[in-house]
């Protein structure tokens, strides 16, 4: 949707259940963004302190981002610092993969030019194992970056289209986080919470999970 000359995406969060506190009709459901627990901005400073120390540089992550960064530079765009820090730190890079209860993984690819906005591009960062959803960093010429998701981005089976074909054919994106760290933290904590609740650990949650769940208890 255009507001003035600015493209505005619908807001939402595509995720699995949180036990009986937030039921889900299938593997995933789209939840209204406004229904989610608020996050403490002081905790999200682009440093991922909630994951502990970053560890040594991750050579695979560095190599993975190098061609993407080079391609973005030709478009006068750049990956956000928090995403670069996450992917190039050995203690961070695969944290979301390990936390995922649905087998989602760090499926990094791109960039692809936005079909809807001149000068903007997308970099895929995460996908469900069966590609029923993918998440992207959206980069604007203004320097603004945020995370969007696309449900069922690969509708053609069994021959999936490539990334650019998928976006051009089915790019129905929703905004889900104002920064990569915001997306990563909410995904990480919700998947840990889902696993704990299904393991019947509801009375013995860690403090961070318990605080997050308080939003649904009230």
Among the listed residues 134, 75, 85, 72, the one whose alpha carbon sits nearest the alpha carbon of residue 107: 134
What confidence score (pLDDT) does residue 152 get? 73
* Within a domain: 213: no
What confidence score (pLDDT) does residue 142 get? 94
The range of the structural domain enclosing residue 102 comes to 2-37+56-199
b/e per residue, 136-161, with b = 16+ CB within 10 A? bbbbbeeeebbbbbbbebbeeeeeee
Percent of the chain with pLDDT over 70: 87
* Within a domain: 51: no
* Within a domain: 44: no
CB neighbours of 80 closer than 8 A, spacing ≥ 6? Answer: 137, 139, 145, 179, 180
Give the whole-angstrom CA distance, residue 149 versus residue 146: 10
138 versus 201: the higher-pLDDT residue is 138
* Within a domain: 151: yes
DSSP secondary structure code for residue 9 in this structure: -
- Interval 43-84: pLDDT, tens: 899 899 999 999 999 999 999 999 999 999 999 999 999 999
Domain count within the chain: 1
User: Is pTM, for the whole model, over 0.85?
Assistant: yes
* Within a domain: 65: yes
* Within a domain: 205: no
CB neighbours of 20 closer than 8 A, spacing ≥ 6? Answer: 197
* Within a domain: 77: yes
- Enter the tokens of residue 176: 């889900």
* Within a domain: 102: yes
Among the listed residues 83, 80, 78, 79, the one whose alpha carbon sits nearest the alpha carbon of residue 93: 83
Rounded average pLDDT over 190-202:
88
């Amino acid at each position: 949707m255009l507001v003035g000359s600015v493209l505005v995406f619908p807001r939402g969060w595509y995720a699995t259940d949180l036990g009986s506190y937030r039921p889900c009709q299938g593997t995933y459901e789209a939840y209204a963004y406004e229904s989610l627990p608020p996050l403490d901005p002081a905790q999200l400073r682009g440093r991922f302190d909630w994951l502990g120390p970053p560890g040594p540089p991750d050579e695979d992550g560095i190599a993975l981002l190098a061609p993407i960064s080079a391609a973005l530079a030709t478009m006068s765009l750049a990956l956000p610092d928090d995403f670069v820090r996450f992917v190039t730190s050995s203690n961070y890079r695969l944290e979301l993969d390990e936390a995922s209860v649905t087998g989602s993984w760090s499926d990094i690819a791109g960039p692809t030019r936005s079909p809807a906005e001149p000068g903007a591009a997308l970099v895929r960062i995460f996908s469900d194992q069966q590609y029923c959803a993918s998440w992207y960093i959206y980069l604007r010429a203004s320097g603004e970056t945020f995370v969007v998701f696309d449900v069922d981005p690969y509708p053609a089976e069994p021959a999936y289209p490539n990334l650019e074909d998928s976006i051009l054919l089915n790019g129905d994106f929703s905004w889900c986080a104002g920064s990569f760290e915001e997306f990563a933290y909410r995904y990480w904590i919700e998947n840990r919470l889902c696993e704990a609740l299904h393991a019947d650990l509801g009375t013995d949650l860690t403090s961070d999970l318990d605080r997050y769940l308080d939003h649904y208890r009230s």
